[in-house]
Amino acid sequence: MNRYKINEVFQSIQGEGALTGVPSIFVRIQGCPVGCPWCDTKHTWDINPDDERSADDVMAEQGESSHWFQSSFDELMALFAREGYTAKNVILTGGEPCMFDLTELSSQLIARGYGVSIETSGTFEVLTHPDTWVTVSPKVNMKGGYDILDSALARANEIKHPVAMERHVDELKALLTRLPEGAAPLIYLQPISQQARATELAIKHCIENNWRLSLQTHKFIGIE
């Protein structure tokens, strides 16, 4: 039985990408070595044994914390029930969830009638059920030194690229040349940190390239 290191579980509305507006249960998995400087979940990077807590303790915390708990699938389902979650889509996020083999977890969720999506940097192989919706948000030349994998790009249902300057758009165009023949993921540009200049840049290139704009709408409306 697999056990998963989980930083946070909550129910909300997806605010980004193709599933914007979809009620979802977010399962935030602990651990990420990629090192994005603008990351808004840096508290999930390290898996420190001293930070392990019970699920009840972690769920009772308010605000960001590096604490995490271990959970089996059955324990996770019991947590969903206790919390009264009604959403039928589960988003596996992080951290970097694809550090781990998510085939069993995603398959069990799908067997229970949930839709499943994964948000990944594209720096680890995506091991998941075939029906999982995979969002690759490529993190190029980050501090951790990880390359974007061709296998992750090929598995993407959508590529949601963070941008703040022209070189980020150039990086995306270079990545798209590596897609296998016939691959047609949805392409989104997402302004980093909602900066005005980044938003203007994203709009310009979405129009020029017939891509889509992803805004972090949850931040605009003040939800998690």
Confirm whether residue 120 is marked as ligand binding. no
Confirm whether residue 36 is marked as ligand binding. yes
Confirm whether residue 13 is marked as ligand binding. yes
Confirm whether residue 139 is marked as ligand binding. yes
DSSP string computed for 91-153:
EEESS-GGGS--HHHHHHHHHTT-EEEEEE-SSS-----TT-EEEE----S-TT-PPPPHHHH
Confirm whether residue 38 is marked as ligand binding. yes
Q: Which two tokens stand for residue 10?
A: 């909550």
For residues 118 and 132, the answer to whether their CB atoms sit within 8 Å is: yes
Confirm whether residue 197 is marked as ligand binding. no
Q: Which two tokens stand for residue 203?
A: 């709009």
Confirm whether residue 40 is marked as ligand binding. yes
Confirm whether residue 138 is marked as ligand binding. yes
Residue linked to tokens 């979405």: 206
Query: Could you give the CA distance from residue 152 to residue 124 in angstroms, rounded to a whole number?
Result: 7
Confirm whether residue 93 is marked as ligand binding. yes
To the nearest 10°, report the CA torsion of 205, 208, 214, 217.
Answer: 90
Helix residue ranges, H only, the chain: 55-60, 73-83, 103-111, 150-155, 166-176, 196-209, 217-221
Confirm whether residue 39 is marked as ligand binding. yes
Strands 4-13 and 69-71: antiparallel
Residues that constitute the known binding site for [4Fe-4S] cluster:
32, 36, 39
Query: Which residues are part of a known binding site for substrate?
Result: 13-15, 28, 93
The annotated binding site for Mg(2+) is made up of 41
Binding-site residues from annotation: 13-15, 28, 32, 36, 38-41, 93, 95, 137-139
Name the binding residues for S-adenosyl-L-methionine: 38-40, 95, 137-139
